[in-house]
A and B are shown apart, each in its own frame.
Chain A
Amino acid sequence: MAENIIELKNVMLTLPSQAGPVNILRGIDLAVGRGRTAGLVGPSGSGKSTLLMVLAGLERPSAGTVNVAGEDLTQLNEDGLAKFRRAHVGIVFQSFHLIPTMTALENVAIPLEFAGRADAFDRAEEELKLVGLGHRLTHYPGQLSGGEQQRVALARAVVGDPEILLADEPTGNLDQTTGGDIIELMFDLHTRKNATLLLITHDVTLAERCEQVVHLRDGLIERIDSGQAAQALAKVSI
């Protein structure tokens, strides 16, 4: 059995608001093995995106422990968390979040530049070629289609060879065909890079392609199912 790269114990998150404190996560326990895939599903407001933020070190939990890639995220300061993300995590957003004033190549190179890598642009070019955008290196996000922008975002997420790939509704802003292509590409990258993939989606069918399907409701894990991938893997084992 693979070691756990993600271990969450009794994670809670309460945020203040003008209407009073809002309990977003109410005691999450979760473990994901290295190199595995997990799908997070649940209705709006169930805490999916917040859980992803906690895993990425973008949000600090109010209570509980968050151990990711061997790091206790609750013990790291702001800059420590930034370094952690740079070293271990790649994130793909629903809205792509590319920087409009930078070319595709520059967008992909940024994480490596942050890490002080001299080969940032060479690596970024390789990664863009890998996602099929070798001919769009000097294009700005505004000159790319939605699918192309998400490919750039994917390339940016994996360019640093992260151990964990987090994706928050990566096809939410794309049409079905383009979305399908992106999902294929993402699973392909997961396999090639042997990265742990955590995928947030409303699409249960898509989630079931993962080995674990985590169902969230009202800030709590309702249940964890085995996805088709896990079942297929089990059949092969039998």
Chain B
Amino acid sequence: MSEASFSLAFRLARRELRGGLAGFRIFIACLALGVAAIAGVGSVSSALTRGLSERGQDILGGDLDVRLLQREARPAEYAAFGRDKNEISRTIEMRAMARTDATQSLVELKSVDKAYPLYGAMKLAPDMTMNEALAAKDGVYGAIAEPSLVARLGLKIGDTFKVGSEVFQLRAEIVQEPDRIGDGFALGPRVMINDVSLAATQLLLPGSLASFHYRIKRPENLREAAAIKSYTESLQKEFPDAGWRIQDRSDSAPGLRRFVERVALFLSFVGLTALVVGGVGVANAVKSYLDGKRDVIAIFKSLGAPGALIFRVYLVQVMALAIVGIVLGLAIGAAVPFLLETFAGHLIPVPAALGLYWGPLVLAGAYGVLAALAFAIWPLGRARDVPPTALFRDTIAPTRSYPRAIYIAATVLSLAVLGLLAIFTAERPIFALWFVAGAGLVFLILRVAASLIMDGAKRIKMRSASMRLALANLYRPGAATPAVMLSLGLGLTLLTTVSLIDGNLRAEISKDLLGRAPSFFFVDIQPDQMDRFEAQVRAAPDVTKFERVPMLRGRIVALNGVPADQIKPAANAAWSLQGDRGITYAHAMPDSAKLVQGAWWPDDYKGEELVSFDEELAKGLGLKLGDTITVNVLGRDITAKIANTRVIDWQSMGINFIMIFSPGVLEGAPHSALATVTMEARGEANLERGLAAAFPNVTSVRVKLALEQISLVLSQFSLAVRSTGSVTLLSGVLVLAGAMAAGFRARLRDSVVLKVLGATRLTILGIYVREYLVLGLATALIAAAAGSVASYAVVVTMMQMQWHFLPVTLLSTVVLATLATIVMGLAGTYGALSAPAARRLRGG
């Protein structure tokens, strides 16, 4: 169809756009905001994952890191590490107590050798070499610590403190430790000593929970990924039962990378919601623009333009402006990592590799184009059916509400592609599917609710004229009701959901966990200390409960003889194969155990190794009674048959092991004990101080402090989500402003007529307040209900926690949203109040 060709459409569109961008500012802003949010999150995430990858050697501390639990490398293993002229550095990491006469603190202790660090550099304050910082001077070993420990123990440089049985002198504060973030979540501040002084602490006893890291620096010609991979494979092949975990620099901090990716995934969905909210603004702006172009469209038609050409002319205009918004959004999004690094770099512990990341930008651009199409095609499709008779008279017959089927199909297709893009580009498509389905459902509910409110407002008969007029404003032609409910409603639902999930997590931590959790965990209690330790605890006042179990660390290496790395577990069970787990053994069934399948072994059982396994993990790993689990403990593989499965209440925060072995092999292995103490808070400090003095090798973890640490991480995550979520609300505000601007002329006319009829400005203001009150309240109530359902689904099904009804959170959302609607609505219409009636009536 040559006459309807795009070149003609482009020419006509270009001429049309000479009229300027009036009315499209909101359109551009809505798209720019949504695209900027998605592009920003994607760029930051890419910068962080690239940063982790580029600094892989620093973060890992070598080209490879071989980690062994509770044991050193055997001579043959060590010799293999040194093959190919590799450089080796050994560090030993464990939790311990650092103490002064007055106080003590849990610390993450790390002993290093002279080769440390193989990559990157330590930065100390005051500046000195590691040897100067850690070597013995006048018979006292040196130590360096993070500033938080220095503050916590009230130390200054040169002061001494004890770790285990040894006294150390604080020589410097740690400013930068290159491989710190690779170590993951820390319960305490870092203290570093040298490997000679570690022996003096007497912390390294049989069964101590220490991990031995052998960092390997390959010669330059053998650092290629393929060479490292083949070297790793040779180590695994040569020592199949070593039970070590080998990581290479290509994925130096997998846990952290996964965390960054998951946070980014969640935040990108928040950005997508902002884009969808902005889509409502896009639809409104396009409709408003096309309403103003009815005459031009009618002229085109009367001059012989076919409908398809009309559609194309305006599609070209809309998409041209959409591209302006998208490019603006992409520019902002691309700048976000740089801005974040400049203004909030200190808050992000992960190194960012700043740069332009085309992948996330292209994806965000695609989202922008699809959103623009999805929300513009409908009004554009309606525009093609503007009757040419519009030129001659106001149409008696109402314009059709729905566009032709092809445009409805195109709208549905664009939305579907938008959703599918979100699902298939997500790291976890199932999560994305739920998000998209949930957002779609809420969108539908809000749209139906808007129709019901408009219909209800039409039916309600009010005696008060002000209320009648306020209700009439809700359903008048071109009323802002659907736009406001959709845009603010979706944003509010998201924020309510996030607030309720956050509130529930906090409630879980502050009320449930702290109420049920023990006061202390004590680890590394040696066999010869157990009785004395228990006696000292029980003698202390305020102690209400003491529990003690043997504890070892082990890693699942095979299930039914199939190596763990070849198993594809369910998503909720994958964690059990990813690291080392605490394991124990028991003669009798623990009091708290709840058996689901099978039976517990007799107290005097002596036979093949049996294991009691977590019921849920058994399901996730596809295991049943009689199947075998192989665990590597202290470099030795132990295979046991599943005798029974148990339900574990993780929220009890008590001593929970996914695997409890029958007595036998483990009993003879060197191991320590784990104990929990539950007591009144007032006696905690005294008990901890006393035990630290008597048992310097025993590490105490104060649950309250650990939960506070978790709470802090949660707060930072919550801040990131709320910040991105506020983009959604901002998008909603833009849409509201657009809707107000579109209806301003009608309000101005009403206001003038009402003034002619004797209404004061206060009366008219009262009408507007009532209108926005109804609108804001209805939107907020629906958002509160939808947010509650969504948060319930996440908390109960995904997090498997009890859901708490949080009336204060909900009420504050409802009140704030209603007030915000009233304030923003009035801001948008206040001008109509002050318009001089006479001038308007004269047509001025």
Using a CB–CB cutoff of 8 Å, the interface residues on chain A facing chain B are 15-17, 22, 49-50, 53, 56, 58-59, 78-79, 82-83, 85-87, 91, 93, 95, 97-102, 106, 110-111, 113-116, 156, 168
Contact = CB atoms under 8 A, between A and B. Distances in A.
B392 A82 contact: no
A168 B392 contact: yes
A101 B15 contact: yes
B127 interface: no
Looking at chain B's contact residues, the main secondary structure is helix
Contacts of A50: 392
Contact of A17 (B304, B306, B307, B397): B397
B677 to A, nearest CB: 80
A58 B393 CA distance: 12
Contacts of B8: 113-114, 116
A78 B296 contact: no
Given A58-B301, A97-B299, A116-B3, A106 B306 contact: no
30 contacts: A16-B396, A17-B396, A22-B396, A49-B393, A53-B392, A59-B387, A79-B306, A82-B306, A82-B307, A83-B304, A85-B302, A86-B303, A91-B303, A97-B295, A97-B298, A97-B391, A98-B299, A100-B19, A102-B15, A106-B15, A110-B12, A110-B300, A110-B303, A111-B303, A111-B304, A113-B8, A114-B3, A114-B8, A114-B303, A156-B303
A57 to B, nearest CB: 9
A231 B68 CA distance: 117
B396 A82 contact: no
Contacts of B307: 78-79, 82
A97 to B, nearest CB: 5
- Greatest chain B CB density within 10 A among A17, A82, A106 is at A82
B302 A91 contact: yes
B693 interface: no
A42 to B, nearest CB: 15
Q: What are the 3 tightest A-B residue pairs by CB atom distance, in nearest-first order? A: A86-B304, A101-B18, A79-B306
Nearest to A49: B392
A102 B389 CA distance: 22
Contacts of B16: 99, 101
B17 interface: yes
Given A17-B396, A115-B3, A116-B2, A85 B304 contact: yes
Contacts, number: 83
Contacts of B391: 93, 95, 97
B3 A53 contact: no
Interface in B284-319: 295-296, 298-309
B127 to A, nearest CB: 68
Interface of B: 2-3, 8, 11-12, 15-19, 295-296, 298-309, 387-389, 391-393, 396-397
B210 to A, nearest CB: 77
Contacts of A82: 301, 304-307
Given A58-B389, A106-B15, A115 B296 contact: no
Contacts of B3: 114-116
A58 B388 contact: yes
Given A16-B396, A53-B389, A99-B15, 18 more contacts: A15-B397, A17-B396, A49-B393, A79-B306, A79-B307, A82-B304, A83-B304, A85-B304, A86-B304, A98-B299, A111-B303, A113-B12, A114-B303, A114-B304, A115-B3, A116-B8, A156-B303, A168-B392
A79 B15 contact: no
B115 to A, nearest CB: 74
Contacts of B2: 116
A111 B15 CA distance: 15
B381 to A, nearest CB: 14
Contacts of B388: 53, 58
B272 to A, nearest CB: 35
Contacts of B309: 114
B384 to A, nearest CB: 9
A58 B307 CA distance: 13
A171 B747 CA distance: 34
B393 A114 contact: no
A78 B306 contact: yes
A64 B17 CA distance: 42
B396 A101 contact: no
Contacts of B301: 58, 82
A36 B19 CA distance: 40
A110 B393 CA distance: 23
A16 B397 contact: yes
Contacts of B15: 99, 101-102, 106
Contacts of B296: 99
Nearest to B303: A111
A93 B300 CA distance: 13
A94 to B, nearest CB: 9
Contacts of A56: 302
A35 B311 CA distance: 36
B305 A99 contact: no
A48 to B, nearest CB: 10
Contact of B299 (A15, A53, A87, A99): A99
Which of A17, A93, A99, A106 has the most chain B CB within a 10 Å cutoff?
Answer: A99
Contacts of B298: 97
A110 B11 CA distance: 10
A93 B12 CA distance: 21
Nearest to B304: A86
Contacts of B396: 15-17, 22
A49 B388 CA distance: 13
Nearest to B17: A101
Nearest to A156: B303
A26 B551 CA distance: 99
The CB with the most chain B CB atoms within 10 A, among A86, A110, A156, is that of A110
A22 B396 CA distance: 9
Nearest to A99: B296
A113 B304 contact: no
Contacts of B295: 97
Contacts of B305: 82, 114
A113 B11 contact: yes
A32 to B, nearest CB: 20
Nearest to A86: B304
Nearest to B388: A58
Nearest to B385: A78
B388 to A, nearest CB: 4
A79 B17 contact: no
A63 B145 CA distance: 95
B309 to A, nearest CB: 7
B742 to A, nearest CB: 20
A17 B308 CA distance: 28
A39 to B, nearest CB: 18
Contacts of B19: 100-101
Interface core residue of B2, B301, B305 (most chain A CB under 10 Å): B305
A78 B2 CA distance: 17
A156 B300 CA distance: 12
B306 A59 contact: no
Contacts of B387: 58-59
A104 B307 CA distance: 24
A61 to B, nearest CB: 13
Contacts of A101: 15-19
B21 to A, nearest CB: 12
Contacts of A78: 306-307
Nearest to B18: A101
A98 B295 CA distance: 9
Contacts of B299: 97-99
Nearest to B20: A101
Nearest to A89: B304
A199 to B, nearest CB: 16
Contacts of A83: 304, 306
A22 B298 CA distance: 22
B293 to A, nearest CB: 10
A59 B391 CA distance: 12
Contacts of B306: 78-79, 82-83
A115 to B, nearest CB: 7
A56 B302 CA distance: 8
